[in-house]
Amino acid sequence: MTETGGRGPLLIACALGIERLALRRFGDVRHGAYGPYGTYDAGEDGGPVTVLRTGMGPQAADRAVTRALREEREPGGTAVVATGFCAGLLPGMHPGDLVVA
């Protein structure tokens, strides 16, 4: 929560463009909150949501998220979620399975 009672910004990081496309919200995407990254307003009770394509691998993710967070309006105020297909091509994995690490 922010000082005004609303929710703070959310940064959703995923490695691949196809993952980003699966997560973006159509219709009200705007640019600028985190530089060139698409963001949208999560509604009356939510803050801005940014879906960031980081590139594959931990180093690429670290660089992209660090760069995006440098542009925060309130340093330390953004929640970050890493998401993606997470070994979705492995036998036994099914759409909707959740992997928590």
Instruction: Indicate the domain borders of the chain.
Output: 10-82
User: Which residue type sits at 64?
Assistant: A
Of residues 43, 40, 23, the one with CA closest to residue 31: 40
pLDDT, average across residues 65-91: 80
Looking at the DSSP bridge assignments, the partners of residue 68 are: none
Strands (E), 1-101: 10-14, 30-32, 35-41, 48-53, 79-82
Helix %, strand %, coil % of the chain (to 5): 20, 25, 55
Quote the pTM value: 0.68
Between residues 59 and 7, the one the model is more confident about? 59
Pairing of strands 48-53, 10-14: parallel
Residue 3 binned pLDDT confidence (cut-offs 50, 70, 90): low
